[in-house]
Chain A
Amino acid sequence: MLAGAAGIGLALTNLPLLVLSIASLALVPVPFLGMALVPWTTNLVRKRTDLERRLASRAGVPVARPYHPPPERGVPGGWRRFRWTLTDPATWRDLAWLVPGAVVGIAVGAIVVAIPLYGLAGLTLTPVWIWMGTDWYGYGTVWSVDTFGEAVLCVPQGAAILAGGLWVAPWLRRVDASFDRLLLAPTRAAELRLRVTQLTVTRADTVDAQAAELRRIERDLHDGIQARLVSLGMMIGLADELIDRNPAAAHEMLAEARKSSGTALVELRHLVRGIHPPVLAERGLVGAVRALALSLPVPITVDADLSGRLDTPVESAAYFAVAETLTNVVRHSRAQHAWVSLCHDAGRLAMVVTDDGAGGADSAAGTGLRGIERRLAAFDGTMTLSSPPGGPTVITMELPCALSSPRTTHSFATD
């Protein structure tokens, strides 16, 4: 009921906004003032429509923002900002919405307020009737309430009307929200444009991350394994030289060479693990996460149910996202226990990592969480973090993806 009243109040602000907008448009020819005024009023209108979008989303009808991204160097009052405002079709659709939006908003608000009020009137009619005496027009099905019995009869009717009014209110708000969506939601073209903008950003991030990763691998190979192989070749060559003249020294050299090749293998193994952990290739996401959980010093319960395998790139992104999160748990959370849950439902993989640590994690503070977000964003995945001080920390990651049928059957349980 209160929401209905607030809705009416909000709808009423549409009219001054419309007047302001028209006035600012009319003043465009006025030098300086005109160009500054239009973006300013548009901004006000957008504040109002954004509020309406949020309310619509809360009523169960999600409405996305349709606007062009602002120009990078558009100073307020400048030509770029002016043009950006006027060339965005969403600006005009917002204006077109102001009047019908207000009408529908007021109508819906009025109904939402009026029906329960009438119900309340019925409920309180009996005492009012006693107090006022016998003169009362009527209520519900009883017209002209003459006797005490008739007055009492109004009570159940009032209750029914109140309940009905409260029951239809959310539905009516959804009708209002659906109407808002007609004009306030992005058009197909705007949706595509927003998608392109988002894809451009995530693609650039992905390419950057890939390039950095390749540079790291190159450096590791160059400084580590390549150097080791060179020294290995030298040692074997030297042993070859020495083998007749000084067999003891040659033996020593060969033992050294063997040790060096062992170290090279260890380094290579670490590198491979960082690129694509072998257990991930062998067992898929669930197996790899279980193996990881076993190797970490904090006890971790893995609850996973995936009936098939994911595509390799998605699988890798999902694994590293979980791995990075668990590394954070071990390093920063001071947790006694952590839980990982993996499940695939309705074309989405949901990965939830919970710990009973100190909480207070902030994705703005560390680069780790930002990295996870970027990794997931490349596949349109998302990450949400809830970490109140004192814990618990819950990180929810979602990736849209398909499951393929399992490549091999694993009949051997791992726990």
Chain B
Amino acid sequence: MRVVIAEDHALLRDGLTRLLRAFDFDVVASVDNGPALLPTLVTHRPQVAVIDVRLPPTFTDEGLQAAIAARTQIPGLPILVLSQHVEPMYARELLSTPHGGVGYLLKDRVFDVGEFVDAVRRVAAGGSAMDPEVISQLLARREPLAVLTAREREVLGEMAEGRSNAAIATKLRITEKAVSKHINNILTKLDMPPSDDDNRRVLAVLAYLNA
């Protein structure tokens, strides 16, 4: 699978490259600054890009801006954004570009190599991967969620992070059937249309939380 990496810290760039190569990703290009990123993405058209929010020369949010610009030029280009901190506002901006295939994770998540690689694959496949921190911040400020049971809220959180039913079942140690029952309850309680498509469902949940 062809990957482009954008990260200005040499250590982290090498680390990411090595990590992804170890899991049979093909790192076709890695850039260390903002201006070079968009052209690289357009030329290489990777199957997934892993991008740091803050890049030279201004060290603001150039990575994020380039990611959004790239997704407007190449609709649905899968992009996983990494950052030292997460802002629900940035997640909202990323999600405002149409089609799935977006991820937004704290850099710390790289520590759990298995989880991280899984997230990259999910994003590449058009799914999503949202940081638990983003989701918990979003959940914390939604009062209507009081109608959900504790378990349902847990499932909603996992779902919003981008996990499939099977993954949620494994994580929460319950059966897949129980998961889909919880999900149906959640969708009914929150007045959301039922959907079998995992990705579309995740986007709907995120849109709901972001509203």
Q: Could you tell me the distance in whole angstroms from the C-beta of B55 to the nearest C-beta in chain A? A: 11
Is there contact, CB below 8 Å, between A297 and B58?
Answer: no
Complex interface residues of chain A between 130 and 168 (CB less than 8 A to chain B): none
Q: Bound complex: CA of A412 vs CA of B60, how far in Å? A: 14
Question: Quick one: CB contact mask for B16-49 with A, threshold 8 Å, 1 for yes?
Answer: 0000000000000000000000000000000000
CA distance A99 to B119 in the complex (A): 85
User: A96 at interface (Cβ–Cβ under 8 A)?
Assistant: no
Pair A282/B108 contact, Cβ less than 8 Å: no
Q: Is B53 an interface residue (CB 8 A)?
A: yes
Q: Which residues of A contact B181 (CB under 8 A)?
A: none
Is B140 in contact with A297, judged by CB distance below 8 angstroms?
yes
A62 within 8 A of B: no
Check: B205 CB closer than 8 A to any chain A CB: no
Among A33-41, A265-273, A350-358, A380-388, the stretch in contact with B: A265-273
- Interface residue from A272, A294, A408 paired with B65 (Cβ < 8 Å): A408
Contact in complex: A265, B54 (CB < 8 Å): no
A residues less than 8 Å from B84 (CB atoms): 269, 278
Once the chains bind, are A297 and B85 in contact (CB under 8 Å)? Answer: no
In the complex, the answer to whether B85 meets A412 with C-beta atoms within 8 Å is: no
Within 8 A of A (CB), among B90-122: 92-93, 96, 106-108, 111-112
B76 contacts across to A, CB distance below 8 A: none
In chain A between 397 and 414, which residues have their CB closer than 8 angstroms to a CB of chain B?
407-408, 410, 412, 414
Q: Which residues of A sit under 8 angstroms from B111, Cβ to Cβ?
A: 258, 261-262
Q: Please state if A282 and B53 are interface contacts (CB–CB under 8 Å).
A: yes
Query: Known contacts being A295-B141, A408-B58, is A279 close to B108, with CB within 8 Å?
Result: no
For A414, the closest partner residue in chain B by CB is B89
Interface set, chain B 116-165, CB cutoff 8 A to A: 137, 140-141, 143
Which one of B61, B93, B107, B141 contacts A296 once the chains associate, using CB atoms below 8 Å? B141
**A291 to B137 CA separation, bound complex (whole angstroms):** 11
Chain A residues with CB under 8 Å of chain B are 258, 261-262, 265-266, 269, 272-273, 278-279, 281-283, 287, 290-291, 294-297, 407-408, 410, 412, 414
Question: Which B residues are closer than 8 A to A by beta carbons?
Answer: 53-54, 58-62, 65, 68, 84-85, 87-89, 92-93, 96, 106-108, 111-112, 137, 140-141, 143
Q: Write 9 A-B pairs (CB below 8 A) sorted by A numbering.
A: A265-B107, A265-B108, A279-B89, A282-B54, A291-B89, A295-B87, A296-B141, A410-B65, A412-B93
